[in-house]
A and B are shown apart, each in its own frame.
Chain A
Amino acid sequence: EVQLVQSGAEVKKPGESLKISCKGSGYSFTSYWIGWVRQMPGKGLEWMGIIYPGDSETRYSPSFQGQVTISADKSISTAYLQWSSLKASDTAMYFCATSSSIAVRDWGQGTLVTVSS
């Protein structure tokens, strides 16, 4: 059974850095792409980008290019989403998800990030 377990909720101040994680198990971590989805309060789902852990090829949605960094450590089957300087507008729920195809069946439980002074 595929499982994605995300790190816990975070409360940060504007300007701080943050790295959240998503650990995969029950499948070949390097064979599936893994991605991150943002959901701002009361808003829709937005794909931020994806990474192929096998070769670390990363693709970012235009809105998120340069705003975040997606990475993966295949030795521990974990993907990361990182900010160098948080803004209040980064307050959102973040989901990781993985798939070998277009249809995404497997999702993490979500990590709530709150950025407030």
Chain B
Amino acid sequence: DIQMTQSPSSLSASVGDRVTITCQASQDINNFLSWYQQKPGKAPKLLIYDASNLETGVPSRFSGSGSGTDFTFTISSLQPEDVATYYCQQYDNLPLFGPGTKVDIK
């Protein structure tokens, strides 16, 4: 079974900072990776699909890259409304989330 790791597990950054989260799969998943944002009490929201494609309506400060086993999610300029937990997700036989990264404002 494929395992997903994410780092860091949490981070605190200032408004305007560049924020980077990494996600690693235990085996090659091509680019079958999505990134989600979840705010407390809410359902996850799709931000990035197929590793690097920005979902319609999502601000361009969010981006994704990578393929194979190593992926990166970036917020180019952190905004107060970006405080949330971010998850990567792959789909093999079943979808699987990474453990999540909690993003806070310093």
Interface size class of A (residues with CB under 8 A): 20 to 34
The reply to whether the CB of B59 lies closer than 8 angstroms to some CB of chain A is no
Interface size class of B (residues with CB under 8 A): 20 to 34
Query: Which residues of B does A touch, CB under 8 Å?
Result: 1, 32-34, 36, 38, 41, 43-44, 46, 49-50, 55, 85, 87, 89-91, 93-97, 99-100
* A interface residues with partner B (beta carbon < 8 Å): 35, 37, 44-47, 49-50, 59, 61-62, 95, 97, 101-105, 107-110
Shortest C-beta distance, A63 to chain B (Å), equals 11
Q: Which of B32, B44, B55 contacts A102 (CB 8 A)?
A: B32
Closest chain A residue, CB of each to CB of B95:
A47
**CB-CB under 8 A for A102 and B95, given A45-B38, A45-B100, A62-B1:** yes
- 9 shortest interchain CB distances as A-B pairs: A103-B49, A107-B43, A102-B91, A44-B100, A45-B97, A103-B34, A47-B95, A102-B32, A105-B46
